[in-house]
Amino acid sequence: MGQSLTQKILKSHLVTGDLEEGNEIALRIDQTLTQDATGTMAFLQFEAMNLSRVQTECSVSYIDHNTLQTGFENADDHAFLQSAAARFGVYFSRPGNGICHQVHLERFAKPGKTLLGSDSHTPTAGGMGMLAMGAGGLDVAVAMGRGPFYLPNPKVLRVWLTGQLTDWVSAKDIILEVLRILTVKGGVGKIIEYAGPGVKTLTVPERSTITNMGAELGASSSIFPSDEQTLRFLEAQGRAQDWISLTADEDATYDEELAIDLSLLVPMVAQPHSPDNVVPVSDHVNQVVNQVAIGSCTNSSYQDLMRVSQILKGKHVHPDVSLVISPGSRQVLSMLASNGALTDLLDSGARLLESTCGPCIGMGQSPVSQAVSVRTFNRNFKGRSGTQDASVFLASPEVAAACALTGFLTDPRTLGLPPLVDFPERFRIDDSMILPPGDPTTPIRRGPNIRPLPLAPALNDTLDLPIILKLGDNVTTDDIMPAGSKILPLRSNIPAISEYTFHKIDAQFAAKAKDLKQSLIVAGHNYGQGSSREHAALAPMYLGLRVVLAQSFARIHRANLINFGILPLTFVNEEDHGRLKPGMILHLSNVHQAIQTPGSFVLTLSNDPNPILVRHDLSERQAKILLAGGLLNSTKYSVDA
């Protein structure tokens, strides 16, 4: 029986476990990436393991999130990260060099390799034929020390692409269609593998738009084959030596399959406030638009912005629309500047932002009150833009540019002939803002915002936990630990940032948690969807959260909860979710034995004779981590070779 592309890479990197459904497997990681919003914690954790240098083939530290310097905090974090990268043998991409996923695709990603990043959109590199996965910073720190990465053996869902995109339809519309069909929960526990004759019509930047937003499906990763298009991209980047041919066997089998005819797709948008709330843009043609933002790690490539420049050339942005553009990398920006496209963008009335994440994480450019903002980003969760009552639509660069011109949500097919962009034979290559690994004696610079890493207490055998919060489905990491310019600078200071835990849901959560000392949260399905930010586990742990009882969990967040000593439990009987209310006390006894024993166990509820039946689905390794109070405690500051 033949193997899928995913199975080939998994098998070649398998350290322990076997590729059977439901098993936990451990993978060797070739490359890692961190960014400045998650990197300080990852490097503090790496340092706590008493390791002198990284052991991967390549590790890169990027500065791309917290670049808005309104105080000393972000600048101090950048100095810490630059000195830590030099000391521990890591490449350092300086502020302004670009967004981690765009730069990594350009300069480091390799077909057939594994990549682990402390950012949920790390699967962007899957457009290169790389098995790239997001994880919490602690998992990345372990991987930097050559420890394996553990995950449940994923199912593989093949998306079979046929046909070819028609005029004005783009790669963004492909992934929006996948999200429309599968929803934000449809990829949980799966790797999405793209195949079929339609694949050959898509360039690597287009493929990477699709794999980037696979994170919104909840998928562990998304991947395309490495073929002639991959070679074409690597040759243009001066990296032809990194290419290998890598495809699935013709007789490969898959757990699930989905077929999409590219020729039938139309320009679409994801409506507020979820990436899977997808409809044709023509459904909203009379909707007034106040802001358009083009960029992010999803749609900021040279091809994307060249199309936008051609649409806007010789025209002017609608007077009631604010248009901001963020090139994905310095390479993209310099090429736009040298060929005149940047002038076309500026002449149209566009505002040029730095080559960073920026508005995508609420770091500047919050729209006006009650705004409609059209963005080429990957997430449109309520309040993520920085304006709580804004309505954010996700769209392709073509749709976004059309909206900027008309002032309304616009089907770009009404604009006439589509832009035609030639794929460059050679990208402009200048790696001067990527600093190579430095001297292992480099002293590490620590500003006052970088506080010691808090550790969880060992898990008690008996717990009486009040329910501090009850939540519904699809609670995001933005709900748990908000982003934005006010909060992100505190990522290196857990006591300070913990004050904002669940702030948008209950502004008094932190104070209540500190009063209770220990607590439990009840949630619905897909708890913890969204980003890989481990602060969404670390800050609640610091405030005394010991258990989350949910109907189901997002993969990365569940792993982060375990890594920081918080027990994730699921209901055996989903109707029990309705019985629970804040203030009730759940009693757990013989916890140590229960989490080391497969199957279900019983919680008792104060003033209610009917028990709550729960399960944990922990591996033996995960149970040991929880018993010790988290991964750092369980390893005793060492990583297995």
Q: Which pLDDT tens digit goes with each residue over 219-250? A: 999 999 999 999 999 999 999 999 999 999 99
- The fraction of the chain above a pLDDT of 90, given in percent, is 85
pLDDT of residue 638: 43
Q: Which pLDDT tens digit goes with each residue over 386-401? A: 899 999 999 999 999 9
- 280 exposed, middle or buried (CB, 10 Å; 0-12, 13-18, 19+)? middle
pLDDT of residue 485: 76
Kindly tell me if the per-residue pLDDT of 451 is higher than 90.
Answer: no
pLDDT of residue 396: 98
Are the CB atoms for 79 and 87 separated by under 8 Å? Answer: no
Write out the two tokens for 29: 């990681």
Q: For residue 346, what pLDDT band results from cuts at 50, 70 and 90?
A: very high
Rounded mean pLDDT of 7-26?
92
End-to-end CA distance of the chain, in Å?
Answer: 33
Rounded mean pLDDT of 441-462?
90
> What's the rounded Cα separation, in Å, for the pair 21 and 154?
7
Kindly tell me if the per-residue pLDDT of 472 is higher than 60.
Answer: yes
CA angle in degrees (0–180, nearest 5) for 356-366-327: 25
Rounded mean pLDDT of 617-631?
93
Residue 573 is classified by DSSP as S
Which range (3-7, 282-286, 455-459, 636-640) has the least confidence?
A: 636-640
pLDDT of residue 531: 82
Sequence-separated contacts (24+) of 165-168 with Cβ below 8 Å: 165/201, 165/262, 165/263, 165/265, 166/263, 166/265, 167/413, 167/417, 167/418, 168/267, 168/398, 168/411, 168/412, 168/413, 168/415, 168/418
Q: How high does pLDDT run on average in the chain?
A: 94
Rounded mean pLDDT of 420-436?
96
For the chain, list the domains and their CATH numbers: 5-264 (3.30.499.10), 268-415 (3.30.499.10), 463-635 (3.20.19.10)
Residue 212: closest CA among 226, 228, 192, 196: 192
Are the CB atoms for 374 and 410 separated by under 8 Å? Answer: no
Write out the two tokens for 188: 């949980």
pLDDT of residue 636: 56
pLDDT of residue 364: 87
Kindly tell me if the per-residue pLDDT of 637 is higher than 80.
Answer: no
Strand partners, 467: 520
Strand partners, 60: 33, 91
Which range has the top average pLDDT, 10-24, 389-403, 606-620?
389-403
Are the CB atoms for 480 and 513 separated by under 8 Å? Answer: no
Helices (H), 72-158: 72-88, 100-107, 137-144
Q: Which residue has tokens 């229960």?
A: 594
Q: For residue 429, what pLDDT band results from cuts at 50, 70 and 90?
A: very high
pLDDT of residue 640: 43
How many C-beta atoms lie closer than 10 Å to residue 235's C-beta?
15
- 609's CB contacts (< 8 A; 6+ apart) are none
pLDDT of residue 347: 98
Q: Which pLDDT tens digit goes with each residue over 297-343? A: 999 999 999 999 999 999 999 999 999 999 999 999 999 999 999 99
Kindly tell me if the per-residue pLDDT of 490 is higher than 90.
Answer: no
- 41 exposed, middle or buried (CB, 10 Å; 0-12, 13-18, 19+)? buried
Q: For residue 48, what pLDDT band results from cuts at 50, 70 and 90?
A: confident
The sign one gets for the Cα dihedral 637, 639, 640, 641 is: negative
Q: For residue 584, what pLDDT band results from cuts at 50, 70 and 90?
A: very high
